[in-house]
C-alpha cells in the first residue's frame, strides 16, 4: 500500500532562480486581457471510382467541406500514396528478436499531440482478436495468419496494433508500431497461452437433445453475449478514434449471430461509433471454408427430434451459420470495409485491408465554430462536379472542452491519455528521485520523491480559504511492460494567507513508497493542477540491484542527500492513517521527523547537508563494526572530509541493516560544484564501498 506525504519544501537558490514571473498583487485597474484560439480539424478522404480504383490528381479546389451545414475553408491539403511492396520476409528471424513473455502487459492507444507527425505516410492496421467468440482451433488459425502477414506481407508504411477482447474487457496489447519483432513476440505469447470461448447455444430444431429438464431459454443468454461482443467492438473503435488518420480494424471472430431484432440497437451503436471514429471494420471468419455435415459434426449432440427427419434441423443449422456471417458482412459494408468469408488463407483478409488504404487525401480546416462545448459536429465532404466518385471519410467529430466544463469522466480520460503518451508533457515542471532500501532477503522499499514548483500551481478561493488541488497518478512497470504497482491520489491542500504567499516562492514535494523485488523498472508519474488542467509528467528507468549477490564489496542502499528534516505533524497533507506503520516502514522517517531528499542536489551554505544510507551485512553471524566518512572534492582537490565514524549498532534482522547518517555544516566552504564521496570500510571482512555524486553549493 503506497504511503504518501505532502510537504512545503525548503527554499534553495535553485528554486530562487525559478521565481521569475511570480504572481504580483492585483492592481486596482487591471489591464484588459484578450484571448483567442483556433481548432484545426483533419479529415482523411479516400476517393474511388465505380470500380473501386483510387482517383488521383485532385486538388483542394475539387473538394467542398461543411460542418453542421456551414461551409469551411480548406487550409491544408495533401495527397498521400502509400507503398504496397512488402518488406523482406522474416522467415529466419533471429531467436533473440522473438521473446515469449511470462505475462502480456497492457497499454493504450496513445492519442496524437499537436504537431506530431508520427503517423504521417503510415497505414494504421489494428488486429482485433475476439477470444470469446473463437474456439481454440480458430484462435490458433487467426494468430498464425497474423504472424504470417507480419513476416511476409507487411510493408514499410504499415503500423500495427494488437487488441484482444477477453475476460469481459478490451485489452490493448500493443500500440501502433512497425517493430515486427515486438509484434511477433506478442502473437507467439498469445499462441502459447490458452483462451476460453463462449459456446453459442441455440433453441431451434438444430439444438442437441441432452436429456436435461426444462429450463431457461438459452437464446436469452445469447442476446447478452452478442451485445457484449458488439459493445467491445464499439469500445475498440472509440479507442482508435483518438487518431485523425484513417484506421482499419481487422476483426477475427468465428462468426457473430444476431438474435432477431434484439441486438439491432447495439449493432447500430457500434457502426455509428466506428463511423464517427473513422474506423472501418474488416471482419475475418476464422472458421475458414467449412464443410459441415447436415446435422452437425462430432462436436455436437444429435438433435433427437422430428426435425432430424423432416430436414428442419439441417435447414436451421445452415441458417444459423449463414446468419453468423451476415453480421460480419453488415459490419464491414456499413463502415467501408470488406468481410473475408469462406476462405482458408486468413492473411488475405489483412492484406485486403492493407491494399484498401493505398491512396487518400488529407484535408485540414480551421473550424468556424470556436465553442469548446464538447458536442458532436457532423462533417460532409463532396467533390465539385464529380457525381460518380465514392468518398470514404470520418462523418464527424466531438469538439474539445474547456477544462472547467469537464465532467468526471472527461477528467479521468485526460489523466489516462496523458499517462499513456510516449512523450512527456511539460505544462507543469516536475523533478523526481527514486531510492531503494533493502527490507529483507527478497523485498526492497522504494521511496519516490516528486517536486513541483509552487508558483506553477493555481490558487482558488473556496469558502474564504486558499486551496490548491493537485491530482497525482503514477505507475511502475517492469522491463516487459507489466504494471507492478501504481499510486493514485487527489490532494486538496488548504492554505492560510501566509502559507499561500510562501507557496509562490517554494516547491511542493509529494512522496510515495512501494515494495518491489530486484529488477529493471520504469516509473512514470503525472501531476495535474485540478484548477486549470495543466499537466506535467516525468518518466525514468531505474534498477533495484540484488544486494544478496554482492560479495566483494559492502552492500549499501541508495545514498540520500538532504538539507531539511520536517516534523510529520507539520505536513500540509498526510494520506497515512497509521503513522506508526509509516515510521516503521520508511527509513527516512525517524523519531517523528522525515528526511526530505534534495532532488536537485543543490545546497545553500546557510543549511547543513544530511547524508543517510544503509549498509547490509548479509550472512554475517553478528553485526560487524563499519568505518565511514564523507569527502567533498573540487576537481582533484580535497576540500572537506568528516571524521571517520565507527558504526557498531544496527538492526538485528536477516540482512543485518546498519544505518549511517552524517550532518555536515557547509558554511565554511566556498560556493561552487563539488563531488560528494561516501566511503565505507569493513576491516574484519576486508571489504570497502565507495559512492560518489556531484552537488552544487550556493550562497
Does the residue 90 lie in any domain? no
CA 146 to chain centre: 24
The reported pLDDT for the residue numbered 683 is 84
Residue pair 489/472 in contact (Cβ under 8 Å)? The answer is yes
Does the residue 146 lie in any domain? yes
Partner residues linked to 629 by β-bridges = 679
Residue pair 201/222 in contact (Cβ under 8 Å)? The answer is yes
* Neighbouring residues of 580: CB distance < 8 A, sequence distance ≥ 6: none
Q: Quick one: pLDDT band at residue 195, thresholds 50, 70, 90?
A: very low
Q: For the segment 202-211, what is each residue's pLDDT rounded down to a tens digit?
A: 444 444 433 3
Closest to 489 measured CA to CA, from 589, 576, 594:
576
Residue 543 pLDDT > 60? yes
The reported pLDDT for the residue numbered 388 is 78
**Residues 294, 171 within the same domain:** yes
Closest to 284 measured CA to CA, from 248, 246, 242, 259:
248
- Phi and psi at residue 259, to the nearest 5°: -110, 80
Q: For the segment 250-296, what is each residue's pLDDT rounded down to a tens digit?
A: 999 988 877 666 677 788 878 878 877 888 999 999 888 877 666 66
**Residues 412, 389 within the same domain:** no
Q: For the segment 100-153, what is each residue's pLDDT rounded down to a tens digit?
A: 887 787 788 887 766 666 787 788 999 999 988 888 889 999 999 999 999 888
- Phi and psi at residue 146, to the nearest 5°: -65, -40
Which ranges constitute the DSSP H helices of 570-680? 579-585
DSSP state at residue 107: B
Average pLDDT, the chain: 77
Neighbours of 552 (CB within 10 A): 8
In the chain, pLDDT over 90 holds for what percent of residues?
A: 19
Residue pair 341/325 in contact (Cβ under 8 Å)? The answer is yes
**Residues 521, 459 within the same domain:** yes
Could you give the maximum distance between any two Cα atoms of the chain, in Å?
Answer: 105
Pick the last residue of a domain from 338, 371, 399: 399
Length of the chain equals 699
All three cell numbers of 269, joined, read 451503436
Distance of alpha carbon 448 from alpha carbon 525, whole angstroms? 10
Residue 249 pLDDT > 90? yes
Residue 677 pLDDT > 90? yes
Neighbours of 152 (CB within 10 A): 15
Pick the last residue of a domain from 355, 371, 391: 355
Distance of alpha carbon 248 from alpha carbon 237, whole angstroms? 10
Residue of 333 and 6 predicted with greater confidence: 333
**Residues 162, 251 within the same domain:** yes
The reported pLDDT for the residue numbered 648 is 84
The reported pLDDT for the residue numbered 421 is 67
In the chain, pLDDT over 70 holds for what percent of residues?
A: 75
All three cell numbers of 424, joined, read 512527456
**Whole-prediction pTM:** 0.56
Place of cell 543485518: 656
Residue 420 pLDDT > 90? no
Partner residues linked to 174 by β-bridges = 162
Does the residue 94 lie in any domain? no
Does the residue 32 lie in any domain? no
**Residues 381, 480 within the same domain:** no
Q: For the segment 73-93, what is each residue's pLDDT rounded down to a tens digit?
A: 998 888 877 776 666 665 544
The reported pLDDT for the residue numbered 498 is 67
Burial of 648 (0-12, 13-18, 19+ CB in 10 A): exposed
**Residues 638, 583 within the same domain:** yes
The reported pLDDT for the residue numbered 262 is 61
Distance of alpha carbon 288 from alpha carbon 343, whole angstroms? 5
**Residues 133, 74 within the same domain:** no
Comparing 102-111, 115-124, 233-242, 308-317, which segment has the lowest mean pLDDT? 308-317
**Residues 384, 425 within the same domain:** no
CATH number of domain containing 348: 3.40.50.410
Which residue segment(s) compose the domain that 74 sits in? Answer: 40-82+361-399
Distance of alpha carbon 609 from alpha carbon 563, whole angstroms? 5
**Residues 391, 429 within the same domain:** no
The reported pLDDT for the residue numbered 310 is 67
Residue pair 125/352 in contact (Cβ under 8 Å)? The answer is no
**Residues 306, 188 within the same domain:** yes
**Residues 522, 451 within the same domain:** yes
Residue pair 255/325 in contact (Cβ under 8 Å)? The answer is yes
Residue pair 525/432 in contact (Cβ under 8 Å)? The answer is yes
482: left (phi over 0), alpha (psi -120 to 50) or beta: beta
The reported pLDDT for the residue numbered 354 is 86
Q: Quick one: pLDDT band at residue 542, thresholds 50, 70, 90?
A: very high
Of 16-25, 460-469, 682-691, the range with the highest mean pLDDT is: 682-691
The reported pLDDT for the residue numbered 656 is 86
The reported pLDDT for the residue numbered 464 is 54
Residue pair 664/611 in contact (Cβ under 8 Å)? The answer is yes
Residue pair 15/455 in contact (Cβ under 8 Å)? The answer is no
The reported pLDDT for the residue numbered 19 is 29
Does the residue 556 lie in any domain? yes
All three cell numbers of 174, joined, read 500493443
* Three-state secondary structure string covering 542-568: EEECCHHHCCCCCEECCCEEEEEEEEH
**Residues 508, 378 within the same domain:** no
Does the residue 262 lie in any domain? yes
The secondary element (H helix, E strand) that includes residue 151 is helix 136-152
Count of domains forming the chain: 3
Does the residue 93 lie in any domain? no
Does the residue 50 lie in any domain? yes
Q: For the segment 627-650, what is each residue's pLDDT rounded down to a tens digit?
A: 999 999 988 899 999 999 888 888
Pick the last residue of a domain from 355, 389, 420: 355
Residue of 112 and 536 predicted with greater confidence: 536
Partner residues linked to 485 by β-bridges = 476
Q: For the segment 177-194, what is each residue's pLDDT rounded down to a tens digit?
A: 988 889 999 998 888 764
Amino acid at each position: 500500500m503506497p504511503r504518501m506525504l505532502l510537504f512545503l519544501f525548503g527554499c534553495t537558490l535553485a528554486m530562487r532562480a525559478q521565481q521569475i514571473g511570480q504572481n504580483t498583487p492585483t492592481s486596482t485597474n487591471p489591464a484588459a486581457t484578450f484571448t483567442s484560439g483556433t481548432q484545426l480539424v483533419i479529415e482523411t478522404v479516400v476517393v474511388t471510382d465505380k470500380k473501386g480504383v483510387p482517383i488521383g490528381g485532385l486538388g483542394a479546389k475539387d473538394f467542398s467541406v461543411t460542418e453542421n451545414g456551414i461551409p469551411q475553408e480548406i487550409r491544408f491539403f495533401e495527397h498521400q500514396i502509400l507503398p504496397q511492396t512488402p518488406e523482406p520476409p522474416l522467415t529466419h528471424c533471429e531467436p533473440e528478436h522473438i521473446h515469449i513473455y511470462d505475462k502480456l502487459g497492457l497499454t493504450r492507444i496513445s492519442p496524437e499531440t499537436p504537431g506530431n507527425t508520427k503517423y504521417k505516410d503510415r497505414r494504421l492496421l489494428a488486429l482485433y482478436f475476439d477470444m470469446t467468440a473463437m474456439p481454440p482451433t480458430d484462435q490458433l488459425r487467426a494468430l498464425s495468419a497474423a504472424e504470417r502477414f507480419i513476416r511476409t506481407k507487411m510493408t514499410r508504411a504499415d503500423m500495427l496494433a494488437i487488441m484482444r477482447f477477453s475476460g469481459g474487457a478490451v485489452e490493448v496489447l500493443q500500440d501502433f508500431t512497425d517493430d515486427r519483432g515486438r509484434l511477433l513476440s506478442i502473437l507467439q505469447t498469445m499462441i502459447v497461452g490458452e483462451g476460453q470461448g463462449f459456446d453459442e447455444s441455440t433453441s431451434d430444431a438444430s439444438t442437441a437433445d441432452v436429456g436435461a429438464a426444462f429450463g431457461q431459454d438459452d437464446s436469452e443468454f445469447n442476446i447478452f453475449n452478442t451485445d457484449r461482443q458488439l459493445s467491445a467492438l464499439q469500445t475498440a473503435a472509440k479507442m482508435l478514434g483518438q487518431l485523425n488518420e484513417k484506421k482499419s480494424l481487422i476483426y477475427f471472430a468465428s462468426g457473430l449471430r444476431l438474435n432477431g431484432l434484439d441486438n439491432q440497437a447495439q449493432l447500430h451503436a457500434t457502426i455509428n461509433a466506428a463511423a464517427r471514429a473513422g474506423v472501418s471494420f474488416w471482419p475475418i471468419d476464422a472458421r475458414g471454408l467449412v464443410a459441415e455435415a447436415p446435422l452437425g459434426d462430432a462436436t455436437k449432440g444429435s438433435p433427437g427430434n422430428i426435425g432430424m427427419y423432416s430436414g428442419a434441423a439441417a435447414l436451421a443449422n445452415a441458417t444459423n451459420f449463414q446468419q453468423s456471417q451476415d453480421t460480419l458482412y453488415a459490419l464491414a459494408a456499413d463502415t467501408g470495409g470488406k468481410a473475408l468469408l469462406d476462405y482458408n488463407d486468413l492473411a488475405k483478409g489483412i492484406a485486403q485491408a492493407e491494399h484498401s488504404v493505398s491512396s487518400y487525401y488529407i484535408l485540414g480546416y480551421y473550424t468556424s465554430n470556436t465553442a469548446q462545448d464538447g458536442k458532436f459536429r457532423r462533417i460532409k465532404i463532396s467533390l465539385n462536379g464529380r457525381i460518380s466518385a465514392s468518398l470514404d471519410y470520418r462523418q464527424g467529430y466531438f469538439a474539445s472542452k474547456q477544462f472547467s466544463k469537464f465532467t468526471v469522466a472527461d477528467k479521468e480520460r485526460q489523466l489516462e491519455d496523458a499517462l499513456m503518451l510516449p512523450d512527456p508533457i511539460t505544462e507543469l515542471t516536475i523533478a523526481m528521485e527514486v531510492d531503494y532500501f533493502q527490507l529483507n532477503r527478497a523485498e526492497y522499499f522504494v521511496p519516490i520523491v516528486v517536486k513541483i514548483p509552487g508558483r506553477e500551481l493555481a490558487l482558488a478561493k473556496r469558502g474564504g480559504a486558499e486551496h490548491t488541488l493537485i491530482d497525482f497518478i503514477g505507475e511502475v512497470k517492469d522491463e516487459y511492460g507489466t504494471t507492478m504497482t501504481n499510486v493514485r491520489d487527489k490532494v486538496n491542500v488548504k492554505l492560510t494567507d501566509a502559507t499561500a504567499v510562501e507557496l509562490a516562492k517554494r516547491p511542493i514535494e509529494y512522496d510515495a513508497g512501494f515494495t518491489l523485488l530486484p529488477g529493471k523498472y520504469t516509473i512514470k508519474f503525472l501531476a495535474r493542477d485540478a484548477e486549470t488542467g495543466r499537466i506535467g509528467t516525468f518518466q525514468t528507468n531505474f534498477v533495484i540491484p540484488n544486494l544478496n549477490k554482492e560479495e566483494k564489496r559492502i552492500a549499501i542502499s541508495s545514498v540520500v542527500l538532504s538539507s531539511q528534516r520536517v516534523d510529520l505533524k507539520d505536513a500540509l497533507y498526510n494520506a497515512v492513517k497509521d503513522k506508526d506503520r509509516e515510521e516503521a516502514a520508511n527509513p527516512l522517517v525517524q523519531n517523528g521527523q522525515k528526511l526530505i531528499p534534495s532532488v536537485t542536489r543543490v545546497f545553500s551554505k546557510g543549511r547543513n547537508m544530511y547524508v543517510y544510507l544503509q549498509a547490509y551485512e548479509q550472512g554475517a553471524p553478528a553485526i560487524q563494526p563499519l568505518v565511514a566518512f564523507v569527502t567533498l572534492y573540487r576537481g582533484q582537490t580535497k576540500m572537506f572530509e568528516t571524521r571517520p565514524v565507527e558504526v557498531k549498532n544496527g538492526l538485528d534482522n536477516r540482512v543485518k541493516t546498519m544505518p549511517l547518517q552524517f550532518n555536515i555544516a557547509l558554511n565554511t566552504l566556498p560556493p561552487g560544484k563539488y563531488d560528494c564521496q561516501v566511503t565505507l570500510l569493513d576491516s574484519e571482512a576486508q571489504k570497502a564501498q565507495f559512492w560518489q555524486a556531484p552537488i552544487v553549493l550556493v550562497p
